[in-house]
Amino acid sequence: MIKNIPLPGTDDVHDEIFWKSTLESKLVVQHCSSCDEPRFPPRPMCPYCNSLSSVWKKCSGEGTIYSFVVPRPPLLPAFEELSPYIVALVALKEYPSIRMIGRLKTKEHGDIKSLEEVKFDIDDEVKVSFEKMADDVALPYWTLIT
């Protein structure tokens, strides 16, 4: 685990259900209660119909790698000990227009340190897992489906 990592706030009324679900190892997506359009990141108003009501729906947690990056120094000091690592932008299986970011890890939950260490490419299938970082925060990360 990273020491002193900057963690997201989890008490915002618009995304607290997302963070509570991650603590239960569930990936959820906010939907408009009126037109049923999914949206991410969570927000108070539907960008399609302007409704202020929403519901949360569980999704499979599977997707495909849309893009990725290997962050290099200079990094925030909290991330220096991890470097290098791979961050994937993942298009969700049920909602291809919704993309979520997270570290790409091995099935053994270790960080992938280089592009040569584990072979993967754009459009490879991944699934979500969660790493508990604090009492109120579990961050999603991605592993390859083989």
List, for residues 59-93, the tens digit of each pLDDT value. 999 999 999 998 887 778 878 877 888 999 999 99
Q: What residue segments make up the domains of the chain, in order of their start? A: 16-144
Residue of 64, 131, 127 lying closest to 99 (CA atoms): 64
| pLDDT tier at 1, thresholds 50, 70, 90 | low
pLDDT at position 104 over 90: yes
pLDDT at position 94 over 90: yes
pLDDT the model gives residue 112:
85
**Average pLDDT of the chain to the nearest whole number:** 91
23 φ/ψ angles, rounded to the nearest 5 degrees: -65, -25
What are 118-121's contacts with CB under 8 Å, separation 24+?
A: 118/144, 120/65, 120/68, 120/144, 121/65
Which of 28-32, 61-65, 114-118, 142-146 comes out lowest in average pLDDT?
114-118
| pLDDT tier at 144, thresholds 50, 70, 90 | very high
Question: Model-level pTM greater than 0.95?
Answer: no
Q: Mean pLDDT, to the nearest integer, of 114-130? A: 91
- State what percent of residues in the chain have pLDDT above 90: 69
pLDDT the model gives residue 3:
65
Classify strands 137-144 and 62-69 as parallel, antiparallel or unpaired. unpaired
| pLDDT tier at 53, thresholds 50, 70, 90 | very high
